[in-house]
Structure 1
């Protein structure tokens, strides 16, 4: 009898991308509606507390809900400073809760003095994204920081309306960018590698030029070649300082937007 040669079949290798769902991500997304609802409730608390402690003769409008988004920015900055990452459960909840506040204003179901609608909240969210998109496109900033800015824009748009929100979100971002630049210079000085990092600033300018002329993928590819030499910064911290600093400036100079609440 002739022996039959049996050729073993190759064992199927498990693909790294096997199509499985990221359980942690799904759980975070499931939390977003509930946390957003809590933030909206906190906005009502903020409005109520402001009304109870404000002087009856005060000409300043009730900005209680804005205190809530400021606290959200502080929490995001603390987490970013600790873990170099801002979680989706916080940033996306801020975005969604801002949309909900705007929607309540549109339906005349609001409990606060805000006048921006759902559309204004979307515009504020979009302005927040646009401000940081160039740095996101070249990989110079994380998605969490961008979503943090979008959450701020969402609430500012929902409360003040898009006409006030557009310059407010932009100037708050500009203040954060200045603070971030100062932070970076201080860290470079402490590490005694100012010359090397200043050359990186020049390269970032070239990356942004490539972004405009050749698109995001080419700019990101060019930037990634220098990633090993980058100084890692928790950008959520200077963004938060910029947000709070700009709002404080408006408050101290009596330049906060105001209107008659009927």
Structure 2
């Protein structure tokens, strides 16, 4: 005999079980109470990144001092060269910026603005009479050459020809050479390094056009640049800048920090190893 407790009523109603069916009552998760905030609306990430710049800038200044010591210890008098430890450290920093730009298409502020800040420190040290890091320029020369670097590349940035990091990279280079060479020679070095970098960048751009065969598209880009400048001057700067940014997203990207770096290092090498001859 079956021991099934289910019974069938005589009136034809559905069978029922003597055992009560389990009831499923889902437990509702309690709402998480918001944790009290103590940031007072401060953008902590922004301020952390901002405070990194002077700290890293001091580190770059120490590197300049160590480079000076290393040159004094290792360089031979037969080279007939001044102490170029500062120049070697600057060259290494520009190579770092170019390397990052080469794979990320962006030069971060912790490199460029820290180079600017350290250039100011070196200039101020010279003004105070400290020559542990050699150089002929003070803060004014460093700042002036930095602004020259900005003036040289900012118009190209306005038309979407490069990013902000490239402009800051040129500014950092100008700041250091201003502090090292002084106002006149620093401005000349900044200008000529920019010219060499511009020529190399132009050659790279032409090679890219030839390889990819986008002649018509690049001709249209030239027309669009002229239109952007017209909009900036006759209508609205922000509207023209927005057009330039939108157009730049359609360009074949060139990490301009790389030709800039080649121009910087190329002219410095020319300055010391070709001109003296």
Task: Flag whether TM exceeds 0.5 (same fold).
Answer: yes
2:151 alignment partner in structure 1:
130
Deviation (angstroms), 1:192: 1.9
CA distance in 2, matches of 1:226, 1:83: 20
Q: Distance in 1 between matches of 2:164 and 2:203?
A: 22
Residue 34 of structure 2 aligns with which residue?
none
Counterpart residue number, 2:24: none
Matched, 1:97 2:124: no
**What is the SS of the residue equivalent to 1:229?**
coil
Q: Is the 8 A contact 2:98 2:261 kept in 1?
A: yes
Paired residues in the alignment total 238
Q: Decide whether aligned partners of structure 1 residues 96 and 224 sit closer, same or farther in structure 2, where only a CA change above 3 A counts.
A: closer
From 12, 37, 41, the equivalent of 2:58 is 37
Contact 2:116 2:175 in 1 (8 A): yes
Alignment counterpart, residue 225 of structure 2, candidates 183, 193, 204 = 204
| 2: CA distance, partners of 1:179 / 1:21 | 43
Q: Which aligned pairs between 1:177-192 and structure 2 lie closer than 5 A?
A: 177-192=198-213
Aligned to 2:6: none
CA RMSD of aligned residues (A): 2.3
The aligned residue for residue 195 of structure 2 is 174
Give the aligned partner of residue 178 of structure 2.
157
1:236 aligns with 2:263: no
Aligned ranges 1:19-168 → 2 under 5 Å: 21-168=42-189
CA distance in 2, matches of 1:120, 1:215: 34
Structure 2: how far apart are the matches of 1:193 and 1:68?
A: 39
Relative to structure 1, is the Cα distance of residues 252 and 212 closer, same or farther in structure 2, using a 3 angstrom cutoff?
farther
Q: Check conservation: 2:67, 2:89, Cα contact below 8 A.
A: yes
Using the size of structure 2 for normalisation, the TM-score is 0.78
Q: Using the alignment, how far apart are the partners of 2:230 and 2:267 within structure 1?
A: 29
User: What is the match of residue 16 of structure 1?
Assistant: none
Q: TM-score, normalised by structure 1?
A: 0.82
The answer to whether the 8 A contact 2:146-2:173 is kept is: yes
Gaps of 5+ in 1: 1-18, 257-262
| 1:189, distance to aligned residue in structure 2 (A) | 2.1
What displacement does 1:224 show?
4.1
Larger radius of gyration: 2
Contact 1:61 / 1:113 at 8 angstroms: preserved in 2? no
**C-alpha distance in 1, partners of 2:229/2:123?**
34
Mind listing any 5+ residue stretches in structure 2 that lack a counterpart?
1-39
Q: Deviations over 1:36-62 (max 9, x none)?
A: 111111111111111122223443211
8 A Cα contact 2:158 2:244, kept in partner: no
